[in-house]
Every structure is written in C-alpha cells, then in structure tokens.
Amino acid sequence: MGATAVKRARYIWIPLLALLIAIPAGFYYVHWSQQGEGAGFYSRLWSPEAIFAYWAPDDFYDSVQSVEGRFEGPACVSCHSAITPGIVNDWRASRHARAETPVYCSDCHGDDHRRLHMPTPRVCGECHATQHGQFLDERRFGFPSHALALERALDANHFVDKPKAEVTACLQCHSVAAKCDSCHTRHRFAAAEARRPEACITCHSGPPHPDVESYFASAHGQIYLAEGAEWDWSKPLREGNYRAPTCAYCHMHQGQHQVADKPIWKFGIKQVNPLTSANRVRRKRWLEVCDDCHDEALARDALVGLDRERKRAWEKLYAAEAELRSLREENLFHPAAGSRPPYPNDWLDRLWPRARIGFFEGQASAFYNVSPIERDYFEMWYFDNLSAYKGAAHGDAERVQAAHARLDADLKAIRARADRLREQARREQAAGIVAPDPSSLWLNGEYTEFNREHN
C-alpha cells in the first residue's frame, strides 16, 4: 500500500474510530449525569427539598412507613374520614366517587400503604387515555408547553446554580408536567373547575407571563368578571355554551388537552416566521377558534394586528441586541464574561467565556451572572416585550401601548448606558488607566460560596 493510500485510510478510519468511541461515551455520560440525588440532566449538581416530592413525584416521592398493610378503597375512606376529612369530602363530591364503579383511593395511590405513590399523568392516563395522549403530544411542539415544563426547569443552567429557595417557585408551576392537579385540584378533579380562568391564574400571571392581567382587562375578561359567577361550568368547551371565552376555551378548544398547537403561543420570546406552511395551518386553527363567536374577517384583522405589533417589538429588540453586540466586540461589558461565575455545568463557558446576546445565543438562561446592561436587555426582552405580546394576543390595547412605551424607554436607556461605557473607556485610555480586574470580586464572595455549598 502506498503512502497516499495509507493517508487516505487514516482520514477515513480515525474519524470513524473517534465517532465509535464518542457515541457510547456520550450515552454513558448522560446516563451517569442523571443518577444523582436530584433529577434531570444535572441531577448530580443539586439535591431536592422535601416539597419536591409532591411536585415531581416520580422522581422524589417516598411512601410513608407509619402504617403497614394492604387496604381496599372503602377501608381508605373509613380511616381518612377521621384523619383527612377535607380530602374525603372532596372525593365524595367527585365523579370518581359517584361512578357506577367508584374510583377509590387505592385505584390511584395503590393499596400497599408502605408503597403508595402519587397519581401522575401516567396514572391518570390509565383511565383517561385520550386526554393523556393529547397532553403528551404537546412535546412535538417543543418549548414552551405543559408536557415539557418540568424538563425545561430541571435541565436549565440557572436551576442547578441558584439556591433552591430561589427556584422553588419555578418548580411549583413547572410541575404541571408531572401532575394533573395543577389544573383541576385533588381530590375533586372537577372539569368545571379547570374551565374557569382561575385555574390558570396560579401560574400564568406576573411580569414574565401576564396572561391573566391582559385577559381580565380585555372585553372577554370583563364579560367573565361581570357574569361568570352565573354560568353553568359543567358545560363542555363548545360553541354556544359560554358567552365569552376563558383561557381553556381558546387554548384547549373543545376540551383538547393540548395548549401548544398555535404559532402565536411561541411568538412572545422567540420570533417565528408566520409564513411557513406549518404556521399557516396553525394560524387557520387559531381563526377557527375565534370563528365560534366572531366573523372570520374580524378575527383575521386581529391576527394581522398582532403580526404588526410583533414586528414593531422585534425591531426594538434587534436594535438593542445590535448595541450589545457592538459592546461585546469592543470588550466593554463590566464585568466581562470571563470575570463572573460561569454556571457549574457549563464547560463551554469555562473554556470560551462569551456574553450571550439574544434568544438564539442563550439569552433565555442569562438573566443573572451578567453585567448591568445585559440584564437591562433581558428585562426588556422577557418582561416588557412579553407584556406587549400578551396584551396584543388577548385584546388589551392599553397594555400594548404601555408596554411599547416601556420598550422605547428600555432601548433609550440601553443606548445611553452604552454611550457611557464607551466614554468611560475612551477617558481611561486617554489617561493611561488600566481598568481593574473585577474577577476576584465576582468569582468569590458570600453569595457565590453559599451556592457552591448549599445547592
């Protein structure tokens, strides 16, 4: 074999051999990383609090050991009527209790008292297969969706780096992926309860997702507030049953247990091209929901109005991103990427510290351990931008106007801060001043050390 042939063989076999080693090594690493005390991809880097057993029961729930034996449903009810009467009363008022063949505690929790389990969507799916299948089908739409909400939290860089006290509130809502009682509470599990907007308020409120605030300010929400107490909530979510829609009516049209099947759902923090074939189908589906009550032309005009609002918002966001990218090129972030604590699991950031700007660079997880101007952009993108989107999507014109005024102010403030950073750098250079290295301040300290020891 000639020298040229040997070189060619190396070019082929060395990459193939490296690939054969890398693939099983990657699978092994993923499996190993998920075997820690926590859960998710970074389970070895954090430990759960006791309350997590109720929010992610498959991962953390351990049955009580105070009672031994196997019990049929009537025995559970007899005992718990004295121990937890409120739970028993809720169950007695449920369709489970009134069914021709009652669904008892043991059907959902098991009958071995030392091996009890919390009902997860998988357990509920044993009887409610259609709803469970629709719920799981959300995964094909990616984030954000209820079915992937817990994974979104547990596999996030900031989740494993921040103290558990700061991320506990995140899991309380993101646990919707692991238990059905986020929407229709145990032990009544009433569909009528889940049809009301209050079922969604628990999670869908506040600066990052002001859904309920924008809904209640809309004409739909105003009708609900005035008349909702008199509506018959036992009626299914179908045309003609309600004078105004609620969250579930639009997002779970006709009772579908799926909320991530519309392009507008992802339109808030991630710009989506509305002209793709998939989005055309979903936009048509959006219009079909509105058509239950409105003329299609009116609904189409509202959707075009939302498109215009999104275009305006993204023009402002892109202008802010351009300013930040310019500062990054000039190395004017303070503290710079290499001078602040990287996420403990982010090996790339350790090897190549780099400020991440915009959604596609990872801005979604860069809301702390950043410089002040980067945080300004995060709040512009995540709070004021989303407020404008939610107002436009839910028909709250005042919120749209106020949010865009804040976006304008955000962009102005970011540009002013950028100018100050450039001016400061110019003066330091003219005076021959070398800026001090802030890494000793940011890479160590009480908060950082506490995180390392107590997560």
| pLDDT computed for residue 11 by the predictor | 65
Among candidate residues 263, 273, 376, 266, the one with its CA nearest the CA of residue 316: 376
Q: What is the rounded average pLDDT of the residues 227-234?
A: 95
Q: Is residue 353 part of a domain?
A: yes
Amino acid 415 reads R
- Quick one: average pLDDT of 88-98? 95
Please answer whether residues 263 and 221 qualify as being in contact, where contact means their C-beta atoms are separated by less than 8 angstroms.
no
Residue 233, token pair as written in the block = 């909530």
Q: Indicate whether 164 belongs to any domain.
A: no
In a domain, 163, yes or no: no
- Say how far apart CA 358 and CA 430 lie, in whole Å: 32
**DSSP state for residue 436 in the 8-state scheme:** P
Confidence at residue 264, expressed as pLDDT on a 0 to 100 scale: 60
Domain for residue 32, yes or no?
Answer: no
Residue 402 lies in a domain: yes
N- to C-terminal Cα separation, the chain? 59
With respect to residue 332, please indicate whether it lies within any of the assigned structural domains: yes
The tally of domains found in the chain comes to 1
pLDDT (tens digit per residue) in 265-296: 456 666 767 677 777 887 888 888 999 999 98
- How would residue 163 be classed by pLDDT, with cut points 50, 70 and 90? confident
| Chain position carrying tokens 């506040």 | 206
Instruction: Kindly state whether residue 310 falls inside one of the protein's structural domains.
Output: yes
Q: Is 381 inside a domain boundary?
A: yes
pLDDT, tens digit (0-9, with 9 covering 90-100), for 238-274:
999 999 999 999 999 888 898 877 656 456 666 767 6
Question: What dihedral do alpha carbons 325, 327, 330, 331 form, nearest 10°?
Answer: -100
Query: How many C-alpha atoms does 163 have within 13 Å on its Cβ side?
Result: 10
> What's the rounded Cα separation, in Å, for the pair 159 and 167?
6
What whole-number percentage of the chain has pLDDT above 70?
A: 92
- Please write the tens of the pLDDT for every residue from 409-449: 999 999 999 999 999 999 999 999 887 787 777 777 776 77
Domain that holds residue 436: 300-454
Tokens of 90: 């809720």
